[in-house]
Structure 1
Amino acid sequence: MNRTGEGLQSPTVRVSGAGRTEHGERVLSTARAAADSVTVLRTGPTGISEYDPLVLATDAGRTVFFPAPETPKVRDLVAAMEDGELPTDGGAAVVEHDVETTTLPVPTDGPFAVGERRVLGPCGWVGPLDPTAYQFHSLDRDAGAIADAGLVGRGRGDATADEPVADAWRRAREADGDPVVVVNANDADDRQRADQTLLAGSPMSVLDGVAAVAEYLDTTDAVIHLAETDTELRERLRQAIAAAADELPVVPVLVAGPDEYRAGEPTAALEAVEGADRIEPRLQPPSPAEYGLYGRPTVIHTPRTFAHIHLALSDPEETNRSGSGSATRLLTVTGDVTAPATIELGSDAHLSAVRNAVELEGSFKMACVGGVFGGVTRTLDIAPTVAGLTAAGLGTEGVVELLNDERCAVATAGDRARFASEANSGRCVPGREGTVQLTELLRAVYRGSFDRGKIRELGRVMTQSSNCLIGAHAPRPVLTAMDEFESSFEAHADGRCPSGTCTDKL
């Protein structure tokens, strides 16, 4: 039997991203129907959705990339490989690589050449449901070494976002009660695709990271929290967990929660997993590490964080990178682009590199970095690190939204303020009332009143006193848009939209 990862017999045709479209499924079925001795492997997404379905034809350490081919092309290339040839006509790239590689070979140019593929490496290359394609490390090394190295949590849904995981792990380990590990993969903001890419493309790496943390906590209880609408992903994860059950000391339970933005906040996710009627963030302290799921000590991370843990367990050098602050960061590039892309940048890169991973529709005007409540900026000459992003007033949630010259900065800020007023849980006054006041102050701009001081003071109070992340972060798009485009706010107060897009509001 051919293996679907390391040591996979050649020749091989990999089909990545097949499940995203009907065309992708046709490409996969066409390849399988045409193959006899050639192995056809269904892999998960690569992160570069513009290329889906991506067909990779491999033989003897050589791989040809065929982005979104038509079915006759797929039939012909499989036939050629059956005859002992590796076709290159029509390929976007040809890459020479080690025949035993377990990560996707990277071309010298194009979207795959942007950044690095350390955490993303297996995505699109190995069989996501085949545990033999991975080396599981959870029992081989102490996860405490990863914690000591300074690894930080990643993403809005992580209880240790932008902070070292070590403190939470140790508190959960020392607290009274039986600890539990939670994978928070419920994010209703479709701007962020990194976690879904990892769960679909490299679920074993996430499961290994979960097992490593569980071993450190001396527990066998783990939960993966998904949105109830992610039915296909949930089924694929169920298959992955079943396939890896004999390899892992921990078998996570899948739990579906409401497809609401507020349910992605870490403690709100715990409420969702518990089945609470009202989804809202909990008051802290105590932290989840002390009093979490059903009152038990709980470590809650995103799939990104667990995949970084697996990578650090796989390669001691990754542990050193984490300790020196040079670990990579996953970013989804979206906005006014033909297709979004999830890429991986090192700490020595700049956000400007993301523009090489996508095709922008129109001319670049600004970016919103950090998700729906990220910061607005004209420049991307910023390091993708917590320190670099924070210093620039931007968000760290792993999203770079590229916006073209048809976008209005005032409307962009107003839309996000309005969303905050609708999506917040109502648990705290700054989140419940502050978001409404912020929205009204922006509406007043269209009525001729631009009160800079009042907007900034409200933003300061909300940021410092909100219990929920929505209330704390909602002012950021507004304040950064004012910093970058104050003249546009003034023009709107005078009854004019410089972008010409707000005529129906003036």
Structure 2
Amino acid sequence: MATDVRTDAGEAVVTAAQNSADSVPVVRTGPTGTTAYDPLVMLTSAGQTALFGDPSPSLVRDLVATLEDGDLPTDGATAVVGHDPETPTLPIPDAGPLSVGRRTVLGPCGWADPLEPDDWSFVSPDRTAEAATAFGILGRGRGDAAADDPVTDVWETAREADGDPVVVVNANDASDLPRADETLLTAAPFAVLDGLAAVAEYVGTEDAVVYLNEADSPLHRHLQRAVDAAAEALPVVPQLVAGPDEYRAGEPTAALEALEGADRIEPRLQPPTPAERGLYGRPTVIHTPRTVAQIRQAIQAPATMDTDAADPGTRLVTVTGDVANPATVELGSGGSLTTVREVVEMDGAFKMACVGGVLGGITRDLDVAPTAQSLRAAGLGTDGVVELLADDRCALATVGERARFAATENSGRCVPGREGTKQLAELLREVYDGSFDTEKIRELGRVMRRSSNCQVGAHAPRPVTTAIEEFEPEIRAHADGHCPAGTCTEQL
């Protein structure tokens, strides 16, 4: 029996199962990525699995008793799935949130024991990341120094640069919006460690670091157990280092500053890039857990990669916002973001979405392929987040909050980031006072995008300018003293 345990309710379910089981093994797994069923109990027998979402401890005791008697309980199950008895990936129902998208990188999540190396097939002891160089994989997530660019370019630069290379997996994200990296590190840490080791072997180093958020000590302890468990299997064993719980500390070069112990965490001027001169001056490859897991997938199962796609492989997308249960889904390059609506239930009618994280783009239309190229062409972000926002949301208030966030969270190193974000927030505040200068906002955005040194400064205008494209009449109404959504009465 497998359980997805991340809550107090989950702990109660595990305890009930363990106390009731005699001959039936109880396996605690990590999250599936879909929270609608948390905690999820799966009972398996002879190639058939019954899934029970959010069961009570008393029901779990009854389920275990039935399984102990030799019968697979199915009455009242969320789903019952037939599958290969030896499947290494989660059996997928025909309907419901778990059926949405694909499960290749996410395949083991919620099914395999995340701390039992014997349940995993490691690729790095026999193959380096060279096996993935033919696919043109792009970096994934804002914490990746090769975000939306070919990872092999970074690898080759690091291999050719002077000095001994080092590989960093950047898993420090203070934002609670993207959950893909956390899901992988919790449910499939060996996949991340294996991919990291394969990259390290290819660039020619035995030095690797996993950079975590200091506020997430449970994840740090969990990952340390995974590192210890896999140490004998991996050719490169990483060191775990925790960094500040700050949004800015997740930017790749700011991560290097944190790793070096700098008092002030801010992004570095480039060039040189980290691959040329990174951690303590050494050539440094910086990837997110999503990226190295995708690289491992390409090495282990090349047939799952779409070699004809400009953005090969899959993208992990966290669906959040005004929804009952956030979820992380996996979409192929030929898919559409409209699919994510099927994995969650909204609290209200859909009005708009912010795609790409807190500083993503605002859109009414999700009919966009989840590839870096398509997302950028639509003016959206690529950080693997889709926030679904309901009809009681005000477009101006929504982007105003994000502009204030950028003004607070920028590093202060460059003028466009430090002063531009403040000016942007002030221009939006002036709308409530009757002044809505769209051209001034757009021109400020153009300057910030072109000249900011940090991601925050460069991306801060995106929610604002895309919202103006979609909701200009609604925003302009505020200058006339009216909020169409009815939520800005205190400011008007």
- Counterpart residue number, 1:494: 480
* Contact 1:366–1:403 (8 Å) recurs in 2: yes
Q: CA deviation at 1:176?
A: 1.0
**Aligned pair 1:14/2:2, yes or no?**
yes
Q: SS of the counterpart of 2:153? A: helix
Q: Map 1:251-400 onto structure 2 (within 5 A).
A: 251-319=237-305, 321=307, 325-400=311-386
Query: Cα deviations across residues 29-50 of structure 1 (Å, max 9, x unaligned)?
Result: 1101100110100000000112
- Which residue of structure 1 aligns with residue 132 of structure 2? 146
Deviations 1:233-277 (A, max 9, x none): 000000000000000011111101000000000000111111110
Q: Secondary structure at the match of 1:39?
A: coil
CA deviation vs aligned residue, 1:301-335 (integer Å, no higher than 9, x gap): 00000100111111121455486534110000000
Within 2, Cα distance between the matches of 1:407 and 1:260? 27
- Aligned pair partner of 1:110 in 91, 96, 103: 96
The correspondence for 1:425, drawn from 391, 405, 411, is 411
* CA distance in structure 2 between the partners assigned to 1:199 and 1:166 by the alignment: 23
Alpha-carbon distance in structure 2 between the residues aligned to 1:324 and 1:501: 42
SS of the residue 2:133 aligns to: helix
CA deviation vs aligned residue, 1:459-506 (integer Å, no higher than 9, x gap): 000011100000000000000000000001110000000000000011
2:431 to 445, 470, 474: 445
The corresponding residue for 2:398 is 412
Distance change >3 Å, CA 455–CA 324, structure 1 → 2? closer
Cα deviation digits, residues 360-414 of structure 1 (max 9, x gap): 0000000000000000000111111111111110000000000000000000110
Identity of aligned residues (%): 65
Q: 2:43 aligns with which of 41, 57, 75?
A: 57
SS in 1 for 2:471: helix
Match of 1:222 in 2: 208
Moved over 4 A (4+): none
Q: How far off its partner does 1:139 sit? A: 3.0
Q: 1:107 to 1:120 in 2, by over 3 A?
A: same
CA contact (8 A) 1:435 1:474 kept: yes
- 2: CA distance between counterparts of 1:471 and 1:321? 34
**What secondary structure, in the 3-state scheme, does the structure 2 residue paired with 1:31 have?**
helix
Distance 1:453 1:205 in 2: 48
May I ask how many residue pairs the two structures share in their alignment?
492
Query: 2:188 maps to what in 1?
Result: 202
Q: CA deviation at 1:174?
A: 1.1
Q: Partner amino acid for 1:435?
A: T
Q: Does 1:163 align with 2:149?
A: yes
Mapped to 1, the partners of 2:443 and 2:459 lie a distance apart of 14
Letter in 2 for 1:453: E
Question: Once the two structures are superposed, what CA deviation does each residue of 1:44-82 show, in whole Å capped at 9, x if it has no partner?
Answer: 000011211100010000001100100000000000000
Residue 120, structure 1, aligned to residue 106, structure 2: yes
Contact 1:150 1:322 in 2 (8 A): no
Q: Is 2:441 the counterpart of 1:455? A: yes
- TM-score (normalizing by structure 2): 0.99
2: CA distance, partners of 1:290 / 1:314:
29
Query: Who is 1:38 aligned against?
Result: 24
Secondary structure (helix, strand or coil) at the match of 1:361 reads coil
| AA aligned opposite 1:279 | I
Measured on the aligned residues, the alpha-carbon RMSD in Å equals: 1.0
CA contact (8 A) 1:53 1:69 kept: yes
Ranges in structure 2 where 5+ consecutive residues have no aligned partner = none
Instruction: Give the secondary structure class of the aligned counterpart of 2:26.
Output: strand
CA contact under 8 A between 1:313 and 1:319: conserved in structure 2? Answer: no
Q: Which residue of structure 1 aligns with residue 223 of structure 2?
A: 237
**Is 1:87–2:73 an aligned residue pair?**
yes
Q: Which whole-Å CA distance do the structure 1 matches of 2:63 and 2:441 have between them?
A: 60
How far, CA to CA, are the matches of 1:148 and 1:412 in structure 2?
A: 42
Aligned residue identity for 2:22 = D
Verify the 8 A CA contact 1:349 1:384 in the aligned structure 2: yes
Conserved 8 A contact 2:253-2:267: yes
Q: Secondary structure at the match of 2:464?
A: helix
Aligned to 1:471: 457
